[in-house]
Structure 1
Amino acid sequence: MAEEQYDLRKVLAEIKDLPGQYHETDKEIDPEADLAGVYRYIGAGGTVQRPTQEGPAMMFNNVKGFPGSRVLIGLQASRKRVGTILHHDYKTLGWLLNEAVTHPVEPVEVDRSHAPAQEVVVKADEPDFDIRKLLAAPTNTPVDAGPYITMGVVYGHSVDGKESDVTIHRMVLEDKDTIGMYIMPGGRHIGAFLKGYQEINKPMPITINIGLDPAITIGATFEPPTTPLGYNELQVAGALRNQPVQIVQGTTVDAKAIARSEWVIEAEILPNQTMQEDINTNTGYAMPEFPGYNGKANPAVNVVKIKAVTHRKDNPIVQTTIGPSEEHVSMAGIPTEASILSLTERAIPGKVKNVYDAPAGGGKLMTIMQIHKDNEADEGIQRQAALLAFSAFKELKTVILVDEDVDIFDWNDVMWTINTRFQADRDIMVLEGMRNHPLDPSELPEYDPARIRVRGMSSKLVLDGTVPYTMKDTFKRASFKDMPNWKEYLD
């Protein structure tokens, strides 16, 4: 009997009956701001406007204007749920991803008869084609530039076809067959491939894959140096599932698609052409981004022309997320943890026990590092670890260092460290004039003209809350009696 392939539907079947992890509703919902507005209260978490909370993933079965289509939100908006989905302890997911990226499993190509994503094919040259009426892409807020694809994995290859990669970008539906795609400068591999096509003035064929196993969407967010140019992150998902991701040739473009997607948009990125992101609204905003603020509309996003849309025939699912939600923390933060662990384990093996990219930093801007010191000679190794973390992930802004008796997943424990094992005049390191993430609004020249010369420059901060090795007995936590039978008293 053939092994059952992992896809979004298999994952939903696994969590559907777990208490508090999944909820469906047949109540009609408007995808324009209402859907995100409702989920904000139920389970968005992260840096979303309060009140919010950790809650179940939600399936909206009755989306206004889109009969037969469903929208799923928040599947990864809980680190514990991600652990359940990946069958692993949520506290050591960084180590799991580190193992996966170093033992990749290449995708395997299947024919169309084995690709549910191509059960229905809609060509963009059909007279009534309109992506805005076909795909139930929500808006997060009333001032968004338009409906956004927030969980679309872009799959493309180099001009010579020798290298391929997957990345996630924010993509707004601009017209009936046009998407505006924001490719962050100097960042993702798709941007590097596009540069090659622009040099020869040819469109770049891509597919945008929506509705996927979280092993794919989490693996796709790895960045250099952990996954260098040409490393296809679908290999990470293959390793996580111990089975290759199935891919299929596009029906209208020379690009591969993920065969078990719910939806696939086949398209081309036009060479050397850009457009105003909010051309339809002129609000000045794009959508809420991971730092928790409305992202400014970009005056020059890449122009993507749609050639076809394929999807499953049985109630296809549009997967979406709220920009600053806990879901972004899972997708961006866990691979970042893996990247930091990979570099520190090679450089100072055994000294970094664990890493957590907390929601307060959106999974990108902050990390908490748990440090092990063997002897007095290890004093200072913790600050070396912080510098390695900045090297592993250039968008990191703040590092908090704690001892191994501290629970890095408990903010009270972390802040207890800063209040009892930290002196501001000696335990702060500030590194000026470094590159960071351009979506951080404090990294604008207007904020500090003397130090921020161009957008995306930042000072970086290290808070060293580790105890000097020679004083470790002074900082021993109060110890209580072990009571293995404590649960008996709850019966």
Structure 2
Amino acid sequence: MKKNVDSLRSALDLLRTMPGQLLETNTAVNTEAELAGIYRYVGAGGTVSRPTKEGPAMLFHNIQNHPGTSVAIGLLASRKRVAALLDCPAQELGKKLFRCTEHPVPPVLSQKPAPCQEIIHKSSDLGFDLHKLLPAPTNTPDDAGPYITLGMCYATHPDTGLHDVTIHRLCIQGERELSIFFTPGARHIGAMAERAEQLGQTLPISISIGVDPAIEIGSCFEPPTTPLGYDELAIAGALRQKPVTLTRCLTINEFAIANAEYVIEGEVQPNIRIREDQRRGTGYAMPEFPGYTGPSSDQCWLIKVSAVTHRRNPIMQTCIGPSEEHVSMAGIPTEASIFAMIEKAMPGRLKNLYCSSSGGGKFMAILQFQKLSASDEGRQRQAALLAFSAFSELKHIFLVDEDVDCFDINDVLWAMNTRFQGDKDIITIPGVRCHPLDPSNSPDFSPSILDQGIACKTIFDCTVPYHLKSRFIRSRFLELDPSPWLREEKKDHAK
């Protein structure tokens, strides 16, 4: 990773040197649906309803009712930007993350004053109010409330003392209260909260907002790549080639990310569940990665906040749930997890892979597989099964040959149209647990689905049978350097 990118501010400084990658505005904006509504047109992409597109990140400097603050959105809403920020070719990001999981660099504790604690607000202070302290946006008018969408939640297991960092959806519920949603069985901090509840204890938790890209990407790994007790900040340390610096929280027994823009300190309460939309009664939570606004949950846990600290002139960082930003954060770690599993089982066969935007980075993977001999026939389907094992929320896998660009959906569909027959190349695996946010994973959608979140996982094998490869050679064009002709064209345009 570029050595100077170790905070949100240094990441933004890098984007300022890259034409067309950061748009800054001083025009006043309301965080109540307006900010996200603007970015929908500018650069959200992903599974956001059309019209949308891939575009620059945005930095809003004039936030209504929040003087002295800014809001950044879309920092990672482009694979090209992520590649620049992590100093890696875009098509090699998954492989680079895989190597970082193999060589982690654990975080370190700083004894120096932390940038995230330049300004301190304690819940005992007169007038303490999360609504006033945090310019947290709502994405749509239907949202349950203001959401913190890029909060790095950091906690410690009550029994083992091991740490974990994860992103969860957090909704401001009152002056000193947040709701936190734990996907059942899917996140380690949820397991920590459950264990603390069994012991009759609260779970201290810090929420660091506005951190560098390595931390945001690294925090999105899931089992089996990062089992319970694996601190994903060590992956971020490997990505940035130096350890993440932590600082001690002021009001709880926990650590926070020292270079964050904001830190919320609090405790997850045992034996309390609240409804996410209790303040607004919309029936919805917020837009999620599949492209739909999810229903509000009545099983959210409650965080009682004890302090908010931040930098001077802090920058709130946020994202739109279904945007390309989610694809980057969820999809690239998934690519790394799948690559690790397959490479260990059959080295050299998986050339590359892509967890595409259309699947939100979670539901769909395209595997570029090379058959080196006749005995490799069938291994491509075994690789797909390994991918399902590496990432349980995966629903669809497309298998393509090494001459197909897995990052180009048109090329993938070309392979499907010329190297695929539905009666023999579709492999279905019904009745497997997938993701509850896919609205088609419901008994209402199909009688074959027994419970919400169960899916029929499917493999689309668009590879050529090994014995027929000589009949499926793509047109061979002359290999040359076109730059001399392109230089002439640029001169003509300049006249």
Does the C-alpha gap of structure 1 residues 309 and 112 become closer, same or farther in structure 2, counting only changes over 3 Å? Answer: farther
Q: Is the 8 A contact 2:5 2:85 kept in 1?
A: no
Match of 1:420 in 2: 418
**How much does 1:112 deviate?**
4.5
Cα deviation, 1:289-333, whole Å, max 9, x if unaligned, reads: 0000011100120001100000001x1000000000000000000
**How much does 1:486 deviate?**
3.8
Matched ranges for 1:38-49 at <5 A: 38-49=38-49
Q: Do structure 1's residue 15 and structure 2's residue 15 form an aligned pair?
A: yes
2:273 counterpart SS class: strand
**How much does 1:203 deviate?**
0.7
Cα deviation, 1:404-458, whole Å, max 9, x if unaligned, reads: 111111111010000001011110001000000100001112112x322111100
1:472 counterpart SS class: helix
Cα deviation, 1:132-152, whole Å, max 9, x if unaligned, reads: 111000000001000000000
Q: Is the 8 A contact 1:269 1:302 kept in 2?
A: yes
**Amino acid corresponding to residue 472 of structure 2 in structure 1:** F
Q: Is the 8 A contact 1:47 1:292 kept in 2?
A: yes
Matches of 2:33 and 2:306 in 1, distance apart?
A: 28
**How much does 1:485 deviate?**
4.0
Range with greater deviation from structure 2 (164-173 or 3-12)? 3-12
**Amino acid corresponding to residue 350 of structure 2 in structure 1:** V
Matched ranges for 1:170-181 at <5 A: 170-181=169-180
**Amino acid corresponding to residue 211 of structure 1 in structure 2:** G
Match of 2:348 in 1: 350
**Amino acid corresponding to residue 54 of structure 2 in structure 1:** E
Match of 1:133 in 2: 132
Does the C-alpha gap of structure 1 residues 81 and 342 become closer, same or farther in structure 2, counting only changes over 3 Å? Answer: same
Matches of 2:171 and 2:341 in 1, distance apart?
A: 35
**How much does 1:5 deviate?**
7.1
Cα deviation, 1:227-268, whole Å, max 9, x if unaligned, reads: 011000000010001100000110000010000000000010
Q: Is the 8 A contact 2:69 2:314 kept in 1?
A: yes
Cα deviation, 1:26-72, whole Å, max 9, x if unaligned, reads: 00000000000000000000000100001000000001110001000
Q: Do structure 1's residue 66 and structure 2's residue 66 form an aligned pair?
A: yes
Identical residues among aligned pairs (%)? 52
Match of 2:269 in 1: 270
Q: Do structure 1's residue 338 and structure 2's residue 336 form an aligned pair?
A: yes
Matched ranges for 1:274-285 at <5 A: 274-285=273-284
Matches of 1:420 and 1:5 in 2, distance apart?
A: 44
Q: Do structure 1's residue 476 and structure 2's residue 473 form an aligned pair?
A: yes
**Amino acid corresponding to residue 256 of structure 1 in structure 2:** F
**Amino acid corresponding to residue 23 of structure 2 in structure 1:** H
Matched ranges for 1:386-465 at <5 A: 386-448=384-446, 450-465=447-462
Match of 1:111 in 2: 111
Match of 2:153 in 1: 154
**Amino acid corresponding to residue 470 of structure 1 in structure 2:** H
Matches of 1:201 and 1:258 in 2, distance apart?
A: 27
Match of 1:54 in 2: 54
**Amino acid corresponding to residue 393 of structure 2 in structure 1:** E
Count of aligned pairs:
486
Q: Do structure 1's residue 365 and structure 2's residue 367 form an aligned pair?
A: no
Structure 1: gaps of 5 or more residues: none
**Amino acid corresponding to residue 228 of structure 2 in structure 1:** L
**Amino acid corresponding to residue 345 of structure 2 in structure 1:** A
Matches of 1:487 and 1:439 in 2, distance apart?
A: 51
1:96 counterpart SS class: helix
**How much does 1:195 deviate?**
1.5
Matches of 1:298 and 1:189 in 2, distance apart?
A: 19
Matches of 1:433 and 1:161 in 2, distance apart?
A: 35
Q: Is the 8 A contact 2:5 2:212 kept in 1?
A: no
Q: Is the 8 A contact 1:112 1:118 kept in 2?
A: no
Match of 1:96 in 2: 96
Does the C-alpha gap of structure 1 residues 442 and 202 become closer, same or farther in structure 2, counting only changes over 3 Å? Answer: same
Alpha-carbon RMSD across the aligned residues, in angstroms, is 1.0
Q: Is the 8 A contact 1:36 1:322 kept in 2?
A: yes
Matches of 2:265 and 2:324 in 1, distance apart?
A: 29
Match of 1:239 in 2: 238
Cα deviation, 1:74-111, whole Å, max 9, x if unaligned, reads: 00000011000000000010000000111000000002
Where in structure 1 do 4 or more consecutive aligned residues deviate above 6 Å? none
Matches of 1:441 and 1:146 in 2, distance apart?
A: 22
